[in-house]
Structure 1
Amino acid sequence: MASTSSPLLQFKAGRCFREGTTNIVQPDSTKGLVYMDKEDDLLHFYWKNRTTNAVVDDLILFPGDAELKTVPECTTGRVVMLQFKSSSQKLFFWLQEANTDRDQIILQQANALISQGQEETGQFEDEDVTME
């Protein structure tokens, strides 16, 4: 569950789902809200149903492990994809914000939050790890 303070970022977005194993996604008509917040020093990516107020998705994003980007192949709406770098998982959302001017700002802010701390999470070199 997210903290009671304001989230780090939030925007209105519905979910889209793939048609079977195709690359075609269909929007779900449910009104939704994506928001990102820190809990226990971990970045959470939430999707909440705005009608029922129920949190449906709660994903932990590790620094640099995902990217939120537009889907340019979609010509009938404003679809974005949360693509994970450590797996083949992709989640699709259609932006429900009335003002399209904010779309790029949303992507920039989301990706800035995801990449925060990436430089702090270095890879261990072999000589740094001691096995006993």
Structure 2
Amino acid sequence: MGDLLTFKAGKVRYDETTKRATPLAGKGLVTVAHHEEDATFVSLVWERRGPGAVDSHDGSEETEREELLLFPGDAQWVHCKKCTTGRVFALKFKSSGDRLLFWLQEDNGQAEPGTLSAADNEISAVLNSLLNVLEENDGNDIVMEDKTGENTAALEDTLSTTNTGISIPILSITDALPISSFVAHIRSLPEQALKPYYDLMPETFEHTRENLIKVIQTPQFFSSVDTLSSVFRDSAGIGSLVASQLGYPYQGEGIEGFLNGARESGLRESENDRVAKDQEDVMEE
């Protein structure tokens, strides 16, 4: 199937630690099309257009091509109005709360760099139509002073919270383990450690790290996590039953008990692996 929409856009890097955003130098292209394996999904691909170094604090290179699998109603394309020195948009995911930032690179003929043209608005309308959502102007929490990357500016993230010292109950597994943290964990694992996850993937997807991440970011996965959270939260005695069936140490009822049990199981496995490795080293000596 042919492309549904293409437009020029660069990427913006957001640092969760410093709460600052940096537009990355280099030309980029966004292509939206039906997913090649299942036409009911939309695929959004960002790729670099030609050479160009990345404006990166750590000197690392960005991925030359990045593909996202989008489900109807889960993502929306939002204009960040406070970014007055560039036309910055956020691709926001309702299921995970994640967002990806882009700055438009199409020449729109406007005197003010942050002003949208009719063509820019058309791109936004078409993309949101493909995503099957109503366009919302709620990207106003993003502030950026310089789209060239020579300066950085504050990015006020609505998802960030202030530490008030108040103990907040865990109502969902994602309260303690956000999808974004799970994705970062998957990216950090060696290939051989991914096999147990591959075995749980839908049959239509090839067993690759990137496809696994796409599955984790789907509304279906988020819904399953939410259902599991509800079971632990609302069903008395289920924690003990699940612990015995899955083989992790029982650490109490509720979501927190499940997470503590899973953590304890992981620590024990790590310790067992360390002991086994030490024994192998002794044998080799």
Asked if TM exceeds 0.5, the reply is yes
Q: Which residue of 2 aligns with 1:105?
A: 122
Deviation at 1:23, TM superposition (A): 4.2
Q: 5 Å matches for 1:85-124?
A: 85-99=94-108, 100-115=117-132
Aligned AA for 1:47? W
CA distance in 2, matches of 1:22, 1:106: 31
Report if aligned partners of 1:46, 1:55 keep a CA contact under 8 Å in 2.
no
Q: 5 Å matches for 1:18-33?
A: 18-33=14-29
Given the alignment of the two structures, is residue 8 of structure 1 paired with residue 4 of structure 2, yes or no?
A: yes
CA distance in 2, matches of 1:84, 1:21: 21
Give unmatched runs, 5+ long, in structure 2: 52-62, 109-116, 134-285
Q: Which residue of 2 aligns with 1:38?
A: 34
Give unmatched runs, 5+ long, in structure 1: 117-132
Residue identity over aligned pairs, in percent, reads 41
Secondary structure at the aligned position of 1:8 is classed as strand
Residues 105-128 of structure 1 show CA distances to partners (whole Å, capped at 9, x for unaligned) of 111000000118xxxxxxxxxxxx
Aligned AA for 1:17? R
Deviation at 1:71, TM superposition (A): 0.6
Larger radius of gyration: 2
Residues 36-60 of structure 1 show CA distances to partners (whole Å, capped at 9, x for unaligned) of 00022121011011116x8521101
Structure 1 residues 23, 107: CA separation in 2 closer, same or farther (over 3 Å shift)? farther
Deviation at 1:73, TM superposition (A): 1.8
Aligned AA for 1:82? L
Q: Which residue of 1 aligns with 2:181?
A: none
Report if aligned partners of 1:46, 1:58 keep a CA contact under 8 Å in 2.
yes
Length, aligned pairs only: 111
Q: TM-score, normalization: structure 2?
A: 0.37
Q: Which residue of 1 aligns with 2:79?
A: 70
Q: Work out which structure has the larger RCO, using CA pairs closer than 8 Å and 6 or more positions apart in sequence.
A: 1
Q: TM-score, normalization: structure 1?
A: 0.77
Secondary structure at the aligned position of 2:131 is classed as helix
Report if aligned partners of 1:68, 1:80 keep a CA contact under 8 Å in 2.
yes
Deviation at 1:20, TM superposition (A): 3.8
Report if aligned partners of 1:44, 1:61 keep a CA contact under 8 Å in 2.
yes
CA distance in 1, matches of 2:47, 2:124: 18
